[in-house]
Amino acid sequence: MPRVFSRISAFLAAFVLLVAGLAAPASALDPFTGYLMVHFIGESAQGEQIYLAHSKDGRNWTDLNAGGPVLLSTVGTKGVRDPAIVRSPAGDKYWIIATDLRIASGTSWGDASSKGSKSLVVWESSDLVNWSVPRLINVAGGISGAGDAWAPEAIWNPATNDYVIYWATNSALNGVTKHRIWYVRTSDFRTVTAPQLYIDRGSGQGIIDTQIIEVANSLGGYRYYRASADGQITVEGSNTILGTWTRIGDLQHLGISNGATGGNVVEGPMWAQTNGANEWHLWVDQYATGRGYMPVRSTNLGSTANFATRTDYSLGATKKRHGSILNLTAAEETRVLAKWGASVLRRKFGYKIGRVIRGSLRRSWSR
């Protein structure tokens, strides 16, 4: 009997260590093992909320939380679109920021863009699974005649030791009313600097969606690359987030545009680097045909000539709308799957403990 309890104690000790690992913060320096996509799914009753999907290879996705929303907005319009997820450089804090907009409530697109919310919705977490209540940060209130604040993104800027939040606002400037990209700086996603103009394509060309990715080894000649839906899907490079950007190219050679040259009309460009490889996917939403996101592959972001579409991917059961992808460490991935991957881990380990205990007791009693 003592041997039975010794084995049980050993198993329980191992289980406690595993559970402790679920709660431990991950270092941003740990290798990445998976991917997390944060997104919304459309204009249904609960479609404009926060949804998550997981992938092991970065191309094939599984809906988390049984395909249901994981976070609900209770502030502003009580709906969110275009969410972006941000990790601190130390890997000890995370934020989700999103457009404060709920078309499902009956809001027209005209009203949403001309007299919509000037604030973003923010959630905060220290472990990626337990999130604060949502709050609003007013980013566009200082823009004269601002009609909205759409499609936010954020990135850590080592040059200023804080985060750059950038988004699209529809307003009049130099006699032209259209969407342009603006930015603020923040250290805590609570207080922000005055908004500054970031991207203006000139003439009457508006721009709503843009996303930046950092390439640590500056492969292709630049540390940062951004993709913008500005009539084309334009790719640019820079070595500083708030400095000068150089146009690299677009996706016209693939028959892809944001409407300026027709073809496959897409929006919502979303970057992700393949774990452990010099390979990137630029996901674009084929909204014009309703086919959802598809990945465009590159092994060198310094030229769009090597960009190529691929068909070996799957997006799970729900329709993924404009979001962002976070590369996950093993610790982060374990926590996320334990929380929303179902019951799989809870059932698995609960069953194993019960089975070991029952088996050990049966063997002991049979003696």
Task: Quote the percentage of the chain above a pLDDT of 70.
Answer: 85
Structure tokens of 346?
């809870």
Parallel/antiparallel/unpaired status of strands 264-265 and 256-257:
parallel
Lowest mean pLDDT: which of 37-41, 69-73, 334-338, 345-349? Answer: 345-349
Contact 225, 197 (CB under 8 A): no
Nearest to 121 by CA among 88, 85, 91: 85
CA–CA distance, 313 with 294 (Å, rounded to integer): 8
Q: Does residue 366 surpass a pLDDT of 80?
A: no
Residue range 128-144, pLDDT digits in tens: 999 999 999 999 999 99
CA–CA distance, 184 with 195 (Å, rounded to integer): 5
Structure tokens of 353?
């403990």
Q: What is the value of pTM for the model shown?
A: 0.86
Mean pLDDT of 209-221: 94
Structure tokens of 149?
């604040």
Residue range 7-61, pLDDT digits in tens: 434 343 334 333 333 334 444 568 999 999 999 999 999 999 999 999 999 999 9
Residue-level pLDDT at 29: 61
CA–CA distance, 65 with 53 (Å, rounded to integer): 9
Which residues make beta-bridge pairs with 183? 166, 196
Nearest to 37 by CA among 16, 74, 63: 63
Q: 70: how many CB neighbours lie within 10 A of its CB?
A: 18
> What single-letter amino acid sits at 130?
N
- Please provide the average confidence, as pLDDT, over all residues in the chain: 89
